[in-house]
Amino acid sequence: MQLSRLFEIVYILLHKKRATAKELAERFEVSQRTIYRDIETLGMAGIPVYCIRGSGGGICIHERFVLNKSALTQEEQAQILLALKSLSATDHEGAGTLLGKLGSLFAKDEDEWIEVDFSRWGHRTNDRRAMAVLRDAIIGQRKIAFQYYSMSSGRTNRTVCPVKLIYKDHSWYLHAFDDDRRDYRTFKLHRCVGITPLDQAFDRNAFPDIRDVELPPRETRLVTVKLLFQPASAFRVFDAFDPETFSHGDDGSIAVTACMEDDGTLCAYLFTLGPGVQVLSPTWLRKRMAKHIQAALAQYENS
């Protein structure tokens, strides 16, 4: 316990530069006398800690002191801290503490330049709760149950053995072994409703190898779509398309030529881009969009 406390004191001083014996004693739930003994021990070990008496004083560490970084380059240190920052966004136990410790170890304050939050706008509490449940189930090898909404099957009740979380193309996916289907399935996390941990353990080693995790195969085809974004909607281009796929018009409009998946939801996705977007080609997609617009309009006219 003392060794852990000594390291923690060094990390605190590296981060805060100064702390009082009272603050440290309250943090570690020990007496101030114990803290002073710890400071003496650190000094004897060669750590340049010292005390400043009087108002505004406290326990300090030499401002030029930095712990050994194990020969990591500046870029490597930044990558480690960024990875931990991403991990802490999932509420992973200990990630925040480790992030603070390594920030002090590398003499960096990475919290100031980046913040990672994988939750959706307006769904922070539910998303983070689901992430915590899945994290514990994966690590603890416990089954989970939920309702899943898919395009092909509608709503189904699923009980699975969760093995991995995947973040790809702006979305979270759950890769799991489905007992009923005796195979792996990948679920889009936002379509999993009522994720509930079960008191049923599983042995991950009993499953087939999953060295290469892929998103679920879908019966889709790629089509070349030409779109025209009016000036007022031009900002939407940058959210969805690669800059190499579009060209700028003199009036501020943007034309896009891109390969897109025709998986049955293409029209619905194009609707999300707003009324300022027009499908130029192919012709069959223009006709399909027109039918969807007429169907949507009929719902409002008949209500």
Whether residue 213 has pLDDT greater than 70? no
Intra-chain end-to-end CA distance of the chain, in Å: 69
Write the burial class of residue 252 (CB in 10 Å: 0-12 exposed, 13-18 middle, 19+ buried): exposed
Write the burial class of residue 299 (CB in 10 Å: 0-12 exposed, 13-18 middle, 19+ buried): exposed
Looking at per-residue confidence, does 39 or 75 come out higher?
39
CA distance 299 to 296: 5
- CATH for 2-61, among 1.10.10.10, 3.30.565.10, 1.20.1440.120, 3.40.50.620? 1.10.10.10
CATH architecture under which domain 124-206 falls: Roll (2.30)
Whether residue 135 has pLDDT greater than 60? yes
Whether residue 218 has pLDDT greater than 90? no
Domain map (residue ranges) of the chain: 2-61, 74-112, 124-206, 222-301
Residue pLDDT, tens place only, 55-104: 777 888 876 665 544 444 555 555 555 554 554 555 555 445 555 555 55
Across the range 205-222, mean pLDDT stands at 60
Whether residue 142 has pLDDT greater than 90? yes
Q: What is the CATH number of domain 222-301?
A: 3.30.70
Across the range 222-227, mean pLDDT stands at 90
Q: In this structure, what token pair is assigned to residue 216? A: 């679920």
- Summary mean pLDDT of the chain: 77
Residue pLDDT, tens place only, 258-273: 888 786 778 888 888 8
Helices marked H in the chain — which ranges? 2-16, 21-28, 32-44, 74-88, 95-105, 124-140, 237-240, 266-272, 283-301
Across the range 180-187, mean pLDDT stands at 85
Q: Give the pLDDT band (50/70/90) at residue 2.
A: low
